[in-house]
Amino acid sequence: MPTPVIKDGSGVNTTVIEEQQALLAEIQVIKFAASPTTVQPFESTTVSYQVKLPAALKVPLTFTVNQKNLGHGTEGSGTFSITTDTTFELYAATTLTGRVIASTPVTVNTAQCKMGSIPGVIIAAELKSNIDQSFTGRLTGTGSTVTLGAGVIDIDIPVNLNGQGSMKIDIEIGVAQSGQSVAVTDKSVTIQIHLDTILNAGSWCSNAMQTVVQPFMQHIVDSEIVPAISQQLTQQINNLIQSAEQGAGPQFRPFVLTTFSLTSDGASFMVCPTTLKVSAAETTLHA
């Protein structure tokens, strides 16, 4: 009885993929290096590679470094501008599969950069204060709850419906670096309503009210809560940038955001100088 052919979701024989993976692992990396290996923020490094292919590997290959296509040849190079410590990976791929075959690190000298942070308790307290003020007289218990996590802010708002029932609003806000700024986005808004009626929360009344309240609450999140978080973070980052630029001395250097992260402990970020601003006197001297 013949051995059955096992295929993946695309219908490709998995044995072929396994064979190509094994051959990719046999590629001899003669050279994979970056020059320079240490740079200032926003400076460039050139990453180059040279490989020798196993004789049994007959299919076309593509080589990429950190998602930048460097072509099909057995040697090549690419230039990368970086702002943070980066590990470059050489990825060899056929049309069916691929694997990382080498890596090399590049360090960014952040000696002239400035670090800043906002404690999580401050972010949560300010946001809770704004939300509780918006729902004055409508909240139950201790009011809203704000919890920070990895790249997210979770907000729970318990609302009293004038003694006729209760509403629970769950909001998830995404916070992440986007280029040289911070993007604050609405990830989800969930409404749960419990009416103190005989039919209770599963009734068509509760469902109908949830349908009405959902877009209203969505508007509040997008027009009030998200901008408030964005403004709080942006203001602190801009304050750090202004302080860094004022301390840069006669050779003024514009600073920009290079790293940002949000965890349960709060927000941490770093701003770094871009390029030196050459004075008129220096321009004349070098002319």
E strand intervals along the chain: 28-35, 38-39, 44-52, 62-65, 68-69, 75-81, 86-93, 98-108, 114-119, 145-148, 152-160, 165-178, 181-195, 255-263, 266-273
In this predicted model, what pLDDT tens digit does every residue of 8-54 receive, in sequence order?
555 567 899 999 999 999 999 999 999 999 999 999 999 999 999 99
What are 193's two structure tokens? Answer: 């309503």
pTM: 0.76
- pLDDT, average across residues 50-67: 95
Q: Return the pLDDT at 203.
A: 57
Q: Return the pLDDT at 281.
A: 38
**124 vs 162, residue with greater confidence:** 124
What are 110's two structure tokens? Answer: 């952040």
Confidence band of 3 (pLDDT split at 50, 70, 90): very low
Q: Which residue has the tokens 């400076």?
A: 43
Q: What's 80's DSSP letter?
A: E
CB-CB neighbours of 52 under 10 Å: 12
Asked whether residue 86 carries a pLDDT value surpassing 70, the answer given is yes
Q: What's 238's DSSP letter?
A: H
Q: Structural domain boundaries of the chain?
A: 14-108, 115-273
Confidence band of 206 (pLDDT split at 50, 70, 90): low
- Give strand pairing partners of 180: none
We find that the CATH architecture of domain 14-108 is Sandwich (2.60)
Query: Can you tell me the distance from the alpha carbon of 196 to that of 221, in angstroms, rounded to the nearest whole number?
Result: 27
| Cis peptide bond N-terminal to 158, omega within 30 | no
Which region among 39-53, 58-72, 164-178, 238-252 has the lowest average model confidence (pLDDT)?
A: 238-252
